[in-house]
Amino acid sequence: MPSSVMPTTTPGAGPQAPAAVSAAGLRKSYGDKTVLDGIDLRIPAGSVFALLGPNGAGKTTTVQILSTLISADGGQAQVAGHDLATAPQAVRGAIGVTGQFSAVDGLITGEENMLLMADLHLIPRREGKQIAAELLERFGLTEAAKKPASTYSGGMKRRLDIAMTLVGSPRVIFLDEPTTGLDPRSRHNMWQIIRELVTGGVTVFLTTQYLEEADELADRIAVLNDGRIAAEGTAEELKRLVPGGHVRLRFTDPGAYRDAAGALPGSTADDDSLTLQIPSDGSQRDLRSVLDRLDAAGVEADELTVHTPDLDDVFFALTGGAGVPAQSAQSAQSAPSDATKETVR
Ligand SMILES: Nc1ncnc2c1ncn2[C@@H]1O[C@H](COP(=O)(O)OP(=O)(O)OP(=O)(O)O)[C@@H](O)[C@H]1O
C-alpha cells in the first residue's frame, strides 16, 4: 500500500491545545467479557483522532461511552469540557454522533430529516429552515432535498447523516466508521468533508477499519487491542514501531546482481527476480552507505526502492501478537523523524 501522509493538523491543534476529549482508566465489561480494560485518551481540540482496532476491539463501545449512550463501569472522561458522569446533558449538547447505523429516516425527504433535527435542537422554524438549506447546499444535497431519503445513494445518505449531525453546531463529532461501504469516490468526498470540519475548528473522533483512512486524516491514531490502547501516536510515529524497513535493489544483468550481492553481505537475495533486499531504517545515511558500497563494486542497480513499514504492518504487528511490545505514547513521540515509502530510479 502506498504510504501517503497528509496530516490535517490545524493551528492550535498541537498537543498543547486544550483537550476536546480526555479519558482516564475507562473500563467496560459485558458479563464476564472485559471490553475496555482501562483506556486513557487525550485529544487536542481542533484535531482528528482515529481509533483503530480489529472487529470487536471495543471501538464502538468507546464512542458510545464518550457520547453518553452507555455508561462506563469505571474511569472518568471529559468531553468538550464537561464531565461525562456529572454533566452528561452538557456533553450531549456539545457533540454530534454519526454511527454505523444511520439516523436518516428514509420515509421522509432529506430536507424533512434536517428540519426534524432542527426541531430536536429546539431551533425556531425559520432559523431551522435556513440552517437546513445551508447544510444541504454544503453537502451537495440541494437538488435531492425534496426527494425521500430512501432514494439516496449510500454516499448521499452518509452526507445527509453528517449534515444532520451538524445542525446543532457540535464542537466534537464522533464518526463511527464513516466510510464503511462507500465507493472510493464517495470515500474521498467524505475525507474532504472531514478535513473541512476540522478547518472549521471541530474536533473529530473517528473509528475506522481502513488504515489508509487513518493515515490520510488523523493527527493522532490509537490502536485498540485486547481492551487496551496498544500504541498511540502520529501515523509516522506508529510506523517506526515496527521492523521491516528495507532497501530493495533490482537488476536486469545477472553479473551486476551477483557483484552487488557480494558487496552487500547482509542482503537477502532472490535469484528469480534478481533483487536484493537490505535491512534499512530508510535514513539518508543508511541509503548512502548502500550506494557507496555499490559504487565501490562498480555496479549500478536498475531500480532502487526504499520501503518503510506502513500502517498495515503496524496494525498486524500490534493486533496479531507479532512480537512488537505494547508502547507508551511517550516512546512513540520521542522517535526521530523519518522518510516514508518512495521509489528512486
Ligand atoms: N450490548 C452488548 N452486550 C454484550 N456484548 C456487547 C454489547 N455491545 C458490544 N458487545 C461486545 O463488546 C465487544 C466490543 O464491541 P464493539 O462493537 O465496541 O467493537 P468494535 O471495535 O466497534 O467492532 P467492529 O469493528 O466490529 O464494529 C464485542 O465483543 C461485542 O460483542
Mean pLDDT, residues 178-204 taken together: 87
Rounded-to-10 torsion of CA 339, 343, 344, 345? 170
Is any atom of ligand 1 closer than 6 Å to the C-beta of 35?
Answer: yes
177 & 83 share domain: yes
| Position 322 pLDDT exceeds 90 | no
- Domain assignment present for residue 159? The answer is yes
80 & 97 share domain: yes
Q: Tell which one of 35, 67, 97, 223 to mutate to probe ligand 1, the residue whose CB is within 8 A of the most ligand atoms.
A: 35
For residue 160, give the CATH number of its domain. Answer: 3.40.50.300
pLDDT at 329: 34
Confidence of residue 321 (pLDDT cuts 50, 70, 90): low
pLDDT at 334: 34
Q: What is the mean pLDDT of the chain?
A: 84
Question: In Å, how far from its chain's centre is CA 333?
Answer: 17
Mean pLDDT, residues 275-290 taken together: 87
CA-nearest of 323, 339, 343 to 239 is 339
Mean pLDDT, residues 136-146 taken together: 92
| Position 187 pLDDT exceeds 70 | yes
Is any atom of ligand 1 closer than 6 Å to the C-beta of 319?
Answer: no
pLDDT at 325: 44
Ligand 1: residue whose CA is nearest its atom 30: 56
Structural domain including 301 reads 246-307
Q: Is the dihedral of CA 272, 278, 279, 281 positive or negative?
A: negative
Ligand 1: residue whose CA is nearest its atom 5: 30
Last residue of a domain, one of 239, 260, 285: 239
User: Tens digits of per-residue pLDDT, 196-219?
Assistant: 889 988 999 999 888 888 988 999
Last residue of a domain, one of 239, 266, 282: 239
- Maximum mean pLDDT: which of 103-112, 252-261, 300-309, 326-335: 252-261
Mean pLDDT, residues 286-305 taken together: 93
Is any atom of ligand 1 closer than 6 Å to the C-beta of 57?
Answer: yes
pLDDT at 11: 43
- Looking at the structure of the chain, the number of domains it has is 2
Confidence of residue 130 (pLDDT cuts 50, 70, 90): very high
160 & 293 share domain: no
Confidence of residue 3 (pLDDT cuts 50, 70, 90): very low
Ligand 1: residue whose CA is nearest its atom 18: 58
Which of the pair, 269 or 321, is modelled with greater confidence?
A: 269
175 & 199 share domain: yes
Residue 189: phi, psi to the nearest 5? Answer: -60, -45
Mean pLDDT, residues 67-77 taken together: 94
177 & 84 share domain: yes
223 & 257 share domain: no
Name the residue with cell 452518509: 158
Give the C-alpha separation, 255 to 245, whole Å: 26
User: Tens digits of per-residue pLDDT, 31-52?
Assistant: 999 999 999 999 999 999 999 9
203 & 290 share domain: no
pLDDT at 341: 38
DSSP 102: -
- Domain assignment present for residue 228? The answer is yes
Last residue of a domain, one of 186, 210, 239: 239
Give the Å distance between the CA of 277 and the centre of ligand 1.
41
| Position 4 pLDDT exceeds 70 | no
99 & 182 share domain: yes
Mean pLDDT, residues 24-35 taken together: 96
| Position 139 pLDDT exceeds 60 | yes
| Position 143 pLDDT exceeds 80 | yes
pLDDT at 16: 64
Confidence of residue 14 (pLDDT cuts 50, 70, 90): low
Cβ–Cβ under 8 Å, residues 221 and 232: yes
Is any atom of ligand 1 closer than 6 Å to the C-beta of 55?
Answer: yes
97 & 233 share domain: yes
- Domain assignment present for residue 14? The answer is no
Mean pLDDT, residues 265-283 taken together: 89
Name the residue with cell 464531565: 83
Which of the pair, 265 or 336, is modelled with greater confidence?
A: 265
Is any atom of ligand 1 closer than 6 Å to the C-beta of 56?
Answer: yes
Give the Å distance between the CA of 38 and the centre of ligand 1.
16
Cβ–Cβ under 8 Å, residues 323 and 317: yes
Give the Å distance between the CA of 319 and the centre of ligand 1.
16
Q: Tell which one of 59, 63, 97, 319 to mutate to probe ligand 1, the residue whose CB is within 8 A of the most ligand atoms.
A: 59
| Position 145 pLDDT exceeds 90 | yes
Q: What percent of the chain has pLDDT over 70?
A: 86
Mean pLDDT, residues 303-310 taken together: 85
Cβ–Cβ under 8 Å, residues 205 and 98: no
User: Tens digits of per-residue pLDDT, 146-164?
Assistant: 999 999 988 889 889 989 9
